[in-house]
Amino acid sequence: MIESINAIEVFNSRGEKTIKVIIKTEKGEFFSIAPSGASKSSLEPVSLSTSKSLAIFKKIKSEIEGKEEKEIDRILEKIGGKRFEKIGGALAIAISQAVYKSIIHSELFDKTYFPIPLSNVLGGGAHGGYTDIQEFLVFPKKAKSIKEAVETNIEILKELKNYIKKTYGYLGKNDEGAIIAKLDNFKALEIVSEISENFKACIGIDVAATQFYKKGYYFFNGKKYRKNEFIDVIIDLAKTYKIKYIEDPFHEKDFSCFSELTKKLGKNVIICGDDLVSTNPKRVKLCIKKKACNGIIIKPNQVGLVSLALKSVEIAKTHNIIPVASHRSGETEDYFIAEFALFAQCPLLKCSVSGSERFAKWNRLIEIWEKSKKPKMVELKIL
């Protein structure tokens, strides 16, 4: 039962205002802080100012205190509006996550499989940088522990930074701690691919193609492509650089191109939908119907409630689609997404290996690994 609940205004890793919720139950005290994305889909919950959401919180506080934990998401859904426009997406997810921390707390140490770290090491697109591709990602092939897996990604990031610093000039890091360098898409892929191979790791890309799609064309690497032409571009990139994970390679409403790419590469590559699905159970079902992808990004704040995110995971797994739990670019010290990935048994956790707000997630998983009876890393057949 929720004995007490409070909400305050705090800051995320970008220095933006966000909401922290603290609850007290018979199990103890739990908190959660709402994260925020730079690249948002059109389906995400409505954002309200923190001051407005906190004023609303004072009015709804009494509807939450004294209720059982498992009732809270239903209450939030009822009072929040279709897209949480009545309370704001940040308040909704902060409450939901804090409550679910209480719900899942005792079960985490009984989970067997730990997620493979999928980390952004080189950035572009909406996150800042010179490439059209938003994220260049790495993940280890056969790490024996979560600590070893995270360390592999850390070493790749260090090696990449040293190489770029010597060869091209280091320009800093973006919101997610990924390196920014004056490279085009192809050179960036070449460098990340070569360094990752030395560490026995795979590479992936988050294309975030919605960002460079205009009036029926994809504007990529200085050229203009029709839809069918851009499918060939992505296929060529995957084969040339041995890419094993491709996220949002097309516009968020372009199911036909997703389906075509999945048909051609899906046996050996994870074709992952983020903006395409927006963690929405209805969109996941539509994705399945259209055979649009074999992986989906799961961001609880993208759908507003943890229960809805868990429903999307369940639907995906039932249809052999890989759920990929993910951080946001505007993160905090809250490690909820790490606990969520473990609880929901998501095979991959997308989170960088730079900045204390990211390491909070990895350190939490390392802590749980050390206390678990028979922990194992997930094995992906597609690798």
Coil, helix or strand at residue 16 = coil
Question: How far, in whole angstroms, is CA 360 from its chain's centroid?
Answer: 15
Residues 120 and 139: their CA atoms lie apart, in Å, by 9
Name the active-site residue from 44, 69, 135, 176. Answer: 176
Residue written as tokens 């990895």? Answer: 362
The SS3 call for residue 172 is coil
Q: Token pair 């990604």 is at which residue?
A: 153
Rounded Cα gap, residues 177 and 262, in angstroms: 30
Q: Which of 299, 331, 357, 361 is catalytic?
A: 299
Three-class SS state of 369: helix
161 part of the active site? no
CB 86 within 8 A of CB 112: no
Instruction: Look up 158 and say whether it is catalytic.
Output: no
Report the largest interatomic distance among the alpha carbons of the chain, rounded to a whole angstrom: 60
Structural tokens at position 152? 């592999």
Give the strand pairing for 135-140 and 116-123: antiparallel
Nearest CA to 377 out of 151, 137, 100, 197 is that of 151
**Length in residues, the chain:** 383
Q: Quick one: CA torsion of 236, 283, 287, 210, rounded to 10 degrees? A: -20
Strand order in the sheet with 223-225: 213-214, 217-220, 223-225
| C-alpha–C-alpha distance, residues 359 and 301, integer Å | 20
Q: Distance (Å, rounded) from C-alpha 197 to C-alpha 141?
A: 10
* Residue 326 contacts residue 300 (beta carbons within 8 Å): no
- Looking up tokens 């308040």, which residue turns up? 91
Q: Which of 325, 306, 303 is nearest to 316 (CA)?
A: 325
The pair of structure tokens assigned to 105 is 């707390």
179: left (phi over 0), alpha (psi -120 to 50) or beta: beta
d(CA 201, CA 73): 39
Q: What type of residue is 122? A: L
**Catalytic residue numbers?**
176, 299
